[in-house]
Amino acid sequence: MSAAKPPAGEKPYTSDFYRKQAADARRSAEIIVPLVVDLIRPNSVVDVGCGVGAWLSVFMEHGVEDVLGIDGEWVDRALLKIPERRFSSFDLEKPFRIDRRFDLAMSVEVAEHLPAECAEIFVASLTRLAPVVLFSAAIPFQGGTHHLNEQWPEYWAGYFRERGYAAVDCLRKKIWRNDDVDWWYAQNILIFAHRDFLETHPSLENEQAPPALVHPRKYLELVDWIGGLSKMAEDIAAAIPPGDLFILVDEGVFGNLLGARGRPIPFPERNGEYGGPPPDDASAIGELERLRELGAGFIVFTRQAFWWLEHYFHLHGHLQSQYRRVLANDRLIIFDLRLQRGPAP
């Protein structure tokens, strides 16, 4: 499971983030990997978007010594769970080739981090690597950091089908109720196998149209989210005068749902829509001041975007030094942009 590509080549995540991500991924991998080994019997595995290699480390513990992890150059090599010689860096937004084939390729919860125009290229790169691909990707409205292309399974199945690969939905029912597996894997994980491989492995059930599923844990999270939405709207109504323009930093999640009394502007704004994370601090500060000059009196960060205040360190410093923070709770952080003031207490 990869971390998102950082804007402008920067590294958005701390060592603690990578450690937690690896621990979470490993817990799920310890359940799923033995199932995959029993089905595929791989002697070699490549993980595209491997992060620090947690999944591959579990494959190695199950006797697969020939592994390769692929991810961006920003991955901290000191935190790798596999030997460093087993790691290669590539830009996953571009076609990439390796001068060999593996028994199994995998890419879990990675594809949604790539722009939509990269989807076909990414699937083509995966299928060049192996006759079988273990794959999962976020569904629409799943949510997450820097998700650019959330799609239902059939979207990805279509690209695999064009390469001669069929969907095999044989894992989800085995892990659906296992609380040790993170719900996004239980919800999304599929096997895509080339038709030649399927002919020699009749035990794999072929499903040309994998069903779109939403896991109960995600559903309950959504119910909680709806309750939180109401509380956020109340927070905004209490902090921002009715009808005022305000900047909404929410990664495009909420939009007008939070604008019952005020008028939200997405940040960054491109033709009235959310334009994606700024490439750097200077761009973020410039966009903030542009929108302030257009009349935005407040900037609101939802909890989905709290990480921006860590990543865009100088933007956060600019806000703290120039404007007054009027609200900070576990749902929202709001700065008043109407008057330039000293640092918030």
Full-model pTM: 0.65
| 8 A C-beta contact, residue 139 and residue 154 | no
Instruction: List Cα–Cα distances, 150 to 114, 210, 250, 303, in angstroms.
Output: 10, 16, 16, 20
pLDDT of residue 229: 78
pLDDT tens digits, residue range 204-255? 766 656 777 776 666 566 656 666 778 888 899 899 998 899 999 988 877 6
**Cα–Cα distance measured from residue 272 to residue 265, given in angstroms and rounded to the nearest whole number:** 7
- 3 state SS of 225: helix
Q: Cis ω on the peptide bond leading into residue 268 (within 30° of 0)? A: yes
- In the predicted model, is pLDDT for residue 10 greater than 60? no
pLDDT of residue 33: 97
Residue 9 — pLDDT band, cuts 50, 70, 90? very low
Domain boundaries, the chain: 7-213, 218-336
CATH topology of domain 7-213: Rossmann fold (3.40.50)
Q: What is the mean pLDDT of residues 137-154?
A: 85
pLDDT of residue 217: 64
- In the predicted model, is pLDDT for residue 4 greater than 60? no
Q: What percent of the chain has pLDDT over 90?
A: 56
Q: What is the mean pLDDT of residues 247-264?
A: 76
Q: What percent of the chain has pLDDT over 70?
A: 85
Of 227, 225, 271, give the one whose Cα is nearest residue 250: 225
Least confident span in 11-20, 58-67, 134-143, 263-272: 11-20
